[in-house]
Structure 1
Amino acid sequence: MRPTTAPRGLPRPDRRLVAAAAAQVVLMAVLLGLYGYGRHLADGRPGEAFEHARELWDLERSLRLPDEAVFQREALRWDGWARAANEYYVRVHFPATVLFMAWIWIWRRHAWPRVRAAVLLSAAVSLVVHFLYPLAPPRMLPGHGFVDLMNTYGPSAYATEPGEGMTNQFAAMPSLHVGWALLVAWGVIRYGRGRWRYLAVLHPVATMLVVVLTANHYWLDGIAGSAIVIGCLAVAVRLEASQARDSVEE
């Protein structure tokens, strides 16, 4: 009797699963890479960016939104938080979004199409806004007493001066830091289990406070980013429902 040998490699279903996962990783990496490169290609147009910043500042005051400069100045009365805020801005946003998408794909596969669509659609809409509406962030706005916390305390997300390098620093509107943080919180609460999942709401709240306190975004940047993500998520859900109806009718 010929001795049996252990099969080499992964079983066929596992190989298909790995291939599907790799395909999704490559797809998201390519498309989000194109989004990042598109941000670089968007002409910051400094003259327009600063004009838009002044107009947005006046609009926020007319809407009675809190003064970002006063908010930052009052916060700076307490020591020790500035570098932590910078670290949160630089280190948490992208890893948290990637981990959330990985969790959805591995354990909540049925929700993956709508999450993927929300991320990619919101990136596409934001890229259009970057081209049409360049905006200088608060840290560049003169005359209001902002402190550029990243350059003052570190670490900084920007290795070059505005207008140089790969990063378009005149793309403050909208803030996908806030928008995608809201998407993460929604997904964890919607698809997670247990009472602890509601703590995910702290992520978008903390992100909004951080982007404003570090003078990287205005309040309206975060509001616009959140509105874009909510709208894109609604579109994704409607498309899924429409496809489901079509499949039933067939």
Structure 2
Amino acid sequence: MSEGATLRDGRRVGGAVLAAIAQVVLMVAVLAAYEYGRHLADGRPSEAFAHARWLWDAERTLRLPDEAELQKAALRWDGWVRVANQYYVRVHFPAITAFMIWVYFWRRRGWPRVRAAIVLSAAAALALHFAYPLAPPRMLPGHGLVDLMNVYGPSAYASDPGEGMTNQFAAMPSLHVGWALLVAWGVIRYGRTRWRYLIAAHPVITLLVVVLTANHYWMDGIVGCSLVVAALWLTSAVQSLRDGEPVRAGTSERRDSVGA
């Protein structure tokens, strides 16, 4: 191999490494800003509980299943509780992180769209945390809900809502559920094995876990998923406008090159 070819190969490798580092820095910054922003949105408990009472009544008007009755029925056998708590605490960030790594290194054509969906949904969720503080079901008195993380462990929150860096009044929306849907969508869209459809269970399990553990209402998960769906639609719409084509429900593979 000539010296020039070696130099070009070295530059390509160096460029690829720098590009990967830049994406890591970007996404770490996005996630850190989201988590810190959630903390800054704290401090309005009276509004959070008023919103919680309104949302509870709205869900009953919409005839959504009663979270308290569902949890009570599930607790007839409590062997699932610690597993559910572990799922809530341990799976969310590792799953979205592993998904981002997989897409970036092995399904690169989908990376710009996935990156955009994460950034846009995180920004929208953070705006909602500021605009609509919401106490989670486990903190809502009068409905018989059990704080399963506090009773059984492990818990992701301090026992006092005013302690720690986690904003406990940021139940709306649930990106646990929204990003679980994003992971399922990405694996099904970009995966190649026939087994990829099993990942559809991930958002379903996540929704049941966050509701049964009384960390979120049904509407938190619905809104979280809606933000992700809207972000994915927006990336498709932007690329369609660039290409001068009409927006369609299904997008071609080349459209997945859209950036954030």
Q: State TM-score, norm by structure 2.
A: 0.89
Within 2, Cα distance between the matches of 1:103 and 1:192?
A: 10
Within 2, Cα distance between the matches of 1:240 and 1:114?
A: 10
Structure 1 residues 11 and 28, CA gap change in structure 2 (3 angstroms): same
The percentage of counterpart residues that share the same residue type is: 68
Residue 55 (structure 1) aligns with: 54
Q: Map 1:86-235 to 2 at 5 A.
A: 86-235=85-234
Tell me the alpha carbon deviations over residues 211-250 of structure 1, each in whole angstroms, 9 at most, x when there is no partner.
Answer: 001100000000000001100111112223333449xxxx
* One-letter identity of the residue aligned with 1:52: H
Q: Which runs of 4+ in 1 moved over 2 A?
A: 240-246
Tell me the alpha carbon deviations over residues 160-216 of structure 1, each in whole angstroms, 9 at most, x when there is no partner.
Answer: 511222111000000000000000000000110121000010000000000001100
Within 2, Cα distance between the matches of 1:148 and 1:160?
A: 10
Tell me the alpha carbon deviations over residues 38-94 of structure 1, each in whole angstroms, 9 at most, x when there is no partner.
Answer: 111113411010010000000000111000001001101113110000000000011
Within 2, Cα distance between the matches of 1:189 and 1:158?
A: 33
Question: Which 5+ residue runs of structure 1 have no aligned equivalent?
Answer: none
Give yes or no for contact 2:150–2:159 (8 Å, CA) kept in 1.
no
Question: Which 5+ residue runs of structure 2 have no aligned equivalent?
Answer: 246-260
Structure 1 residue 15: deviation in Å?
A: 1.8
Tell me the alpha carbon deviations over residues 88-147 of structure 1, each in whole angstroms, 9 at most, x when there is no partner.
Answer: 000001100011111110111111111100000000001110001000000000011111
* One-letter identity of the residue aligned with 1:232: A
Structure 1 residue 159: deviation in Å?
A: 3.1
* One-letter identity of the residue aligned with 1:105: Y
* One-letter identity of the residue aligned with 1:177: H
Give yes or no for contact 1:114–1:240 (8 Å, CA) kept in 2.
no
Q: State TM-score, norm by structure 1.
A: 0.92
Within 1, Cα distance between the matches of 2:236 and 2:107?
A: 15
Residue 21 (structure 2) aligns with: 22
Within 2, Cα distance between the matches of 1:227 and 1:163?
A: 30
Once structures 1 and 2 are overlaid, which stretch shifts more, 51-60 or 30-39?
Answer: 30-39
